[in-house]
Amino acid sequence: MGVALVALFVALGGTGYAAGGAFSGDGDGLRAETAARRGARRVQRGPRGFTGARGPAGPRGTAGPAGSTGAAGERGAPGATGATGPQGPAGTAKAFASISSGGRVRAGHAFAITDANVSIRSRGYYCFDLSGVGITSANAVPIAAVDYSDDNTSSGDVLAVISSGDFNNCTAGQIGVRTYDDAGGFDPAGFTIAFM
């Protein structure tokens, strides 16, 4: 009887130890269960496949609003001078000149008119004799304007061109120019004149 009891206790003690070892704090049982679950998940997912080819590009979206204008850049260096253009057609004026208040033709500013063609009738009264170049009061239209670059010409000075009529006191066939100050009195002034 005693021997049988001892054998029973030894058998029960070994079973309890084995059971205690499976669920004790040593973690061997938990690690085995976790590894089994991971393996099951791998089997369910299967191995990763190859990456597929890139699909076609989608349609282009609408353009966004234009941005604000940026600051102006630095000015570039000037370019080379271009070729000289062809000469323009000849003008239609028969004669022209820039006349000083003293009745002299300004050099370089005249065509078919010289000092010999201009005389002073009286204060602020100039007469043009261009019969030598075929210009008379009967076949030319004079156009004149005050030249304020003349030293004796003041702001407010005006002029009148007289080609014919009772107000033309120049010799017959000549063309007269009268210059006035701002008060209406005769006053010498520079001017330019052209005969068309």
Q: What integer pLDDT is reported at residue 194 of this predicted model? A: 96
Instruction: Decide: residue 17, CB within 10 A, 0-12 exposed, 13-18 middle, 19+ buried.
Output: exposed
Mean pLDDT value across residues 119-131: 96
Residue ranges per structural domain of the chain:
115-195
Phi, psi of 163 (to 5 degrees): -100, -25
Continuous segment of H or E residues that includes residue 23: helix 2-23
Once rounded to an integer, what is the mean pLDDT over residues 167-184? Answer: 91
Question: What is residue 20's predicted lDDT score, i.e. its pLDDT?
Answer: 46
User: What SS3 class is residue 110?
Assistant: strand
pTM: 0.54
Question: Quick one: tokens of 46?
Answer: 């299967």
Position 16 scores a pLDDT of 45
- Per the prediction, the chain carries an average pLDDT of 83
3-state secondary structure of 8: helix
pLDDT at 1: 56
Residues 6+ apart with CB under 8 A from 134: 94
pLDDT in tens, 86-121: 988 877 889 999 999 999 999 999 999 999 999 999
